Amino acid sequence: MRIDLHTHSTQSDGTESPADVMRSAAKAGLDVIALTDHDTTRGWGQAARAIAETGVTLVPGIEISCAYDGISIHLLGYFIDPLDAPLLGELERARSSRRTRAQRMVERLAPDTGLRWAQVQEQFGADTTIGRPHIADALVAAGVVASRDEAFASYLASGSKYHVSHYAPDPAFATRLVRAAGGVPVMAHPFAAARGRTVDVDVIEGMADAGLAGLEVHHRDHTAEAIGQGLKLAERLGLLVTGSSDYHGTGKENQLGENTTSPEVLEALAAQATSGSGPLRP
């Protein structure tokens, strides 16, 4: 059984609809995928309606953007109650901050690139969680850069003069929110140093104390050394080990199924859920 527990759709910064992510998963020979869009569960329904067509089991998930001491941290939450009020409130706060941040970045970019907010709006739908990838896509469409990667290496880099930060919750707080919503929290790509600074182990230990269930150790942004570090840390803290693609369609080079999670780990994750939710099977 091939299981990929980290994918994105057009509900956040992926380039395929939730249903098309399911279809792509079937074509890639996957049996199970988790849809984990940033700060939203709004793609679950579309993905669930594609289960019968594709034969792919769906794990309902989310990716929460967190921060600690200025360092970006991503927390995957599986099997949450999508109507949990405290979690919904925190997600809406983050989504609103993301939109304001994007608008401010476009204002800074405008004098040097000619980019306008209306051009960015063409890159996302009404319910989309807005992020820098949408600005990158607008820069590509305007001919300012050739690709998302080029945009992130220049105009959208964290250290560029155009960069604006956005609200993101503390990771231990977010971990507790996921648990309170009946879900199961797993830290995404914890040692992806190529993305920027990574947190010290004591931050992950704090997340474990708050209820963290696992670490996404097997990820393309982890070196062999980082994978070894992750495996040792997971064993010491009693955490489950997952592997995922972090698929974004054509938005990134990541390919579905390039890293996978064992059936035993998925079963263990599902067993920890208290929301009454589980994998949605054909």
Query: Does the pLDDT at position 194 exceed 90?
Result: no
Expressed in angstroms, the distance from the first to the final Cα of the chain is 14
Inter-residue contact 178 to 87 (CB < 8 Å): yes
* pLDDT value of position 28: 98
pLDDT in tens, 3-30: 999 999 999 999 999 999 999 999 999 9
Question: What integer pLDDT is reported at residue 234 of this predicted model?
Answer: 98
Q: Which CATH class is domain 3-91+168-272?
A: alpha beta
Q: How far is CA 174 from CA 83, 88, 223, 256, in A?
A: 16, 12, 27, 27
User: Closest by alpha carbon to 142, among 124, 126, 164, 118?
Assistant: 118
pLDDT of residue 187: 98
**281 has a pLDDT exceeding 90:** yes
Phi–psi pair at 166, nearest 5 degrees: -135, 165
pLDDT at site 129: 86
Question: What is the SS3 assignment for 51?
Answer: helix
pLDDT at 142 over 80: yes
Q: Enter the DSSP assignment of 193.
A: G
- Rounded to 5 degrees, φ, ψ at 212 are -55, 135
Q: Per mean pLDDT, which range of 127-131, 222-226, 271-275 is the poorest?
A: 127-131
* Alpha helices (H) in the chain, listed in sequence order: 18-27, 44-49, 51-54, 85-113, 117-121, 132-141, 148-153, 171-180, 201-210, 224-237, 263-272
Cα separation, 234 vs 232, whole angstroms: 5
Domain ranges across the chain? 3-91+168-272
pLDDT, average across residues 36-49? 97
Give the global pTM.
0.92
